[in-house]
Amino acid sequence: VDIVAVNDPFIEPHYAAYMLKYDSTHGQFKGEIKVDGNNLTVNGKTIRFHMEKDPANIPWSETGAYYVVESTGVFTTTEKAKAHLKGGAKKVVISAPSADAPMFVMGVNHETYKSDIEVLSNASCTTNCLAPLAKVVHDKFTIIEGLMTTIHSYTATQKVVDGPSAKDWRGGRTA
């Protein structure tokens, strides 16, 4: 994978470099990271950094980006994710479940992918964990119905201490 551009509408290049250099989960990045205007250079590889809130305004074609991974969690419908195509991207992979984009899970239904699909979803992390195992069991024994439990670590939108939540009262409780 050749990363040629990144768009993050919420942070500037210097902060992105800092976040990459000092990752709380993976530790300190041992390579070299530099910022030059709107470019990040990682181990000598220049990556164009955009800060556009509207994906239609990102000039993906200027960098040669063919595939765009839409991972903001904001543009998860086909219509919204298609905005990336206006900037020159050829394919958009949504990294979350989508209400209307076709979803593919490797080892489960990836053979049904057609090359003319411009926007697709890689489903959810839970689906990518459960579906391959469920497929093996179903193919061998036939699952009529099932129940599963998923346990996640904190996400960026969950509170680590109790506080108010505009969404719902339970959302204000510690995850």
- The residues assigned a catalytic role are 125
Give CA–CA dist 175/161, Å, rounded: 8
Can you give 106-168 as a three-state secondary structure string? CCCCHHHCCCCCCEEECCCHHHHHHHHHHHHHHHHHCCCCCCCCCCCCCCCCCCCCCCCCCCC
Structural contact between residues 48 and 4, judged by C-beta atoms closer than 8 angstroms: yes
Give CA–CA dist 33/58, Å, rounded: 23
Tokens of 39: 């470019």
Give CA–CA dist 5/11, Å, rounded: 15
Structural contact between residues 169 and 158, judged by C-beta atoms closer than 8 angstroms: no
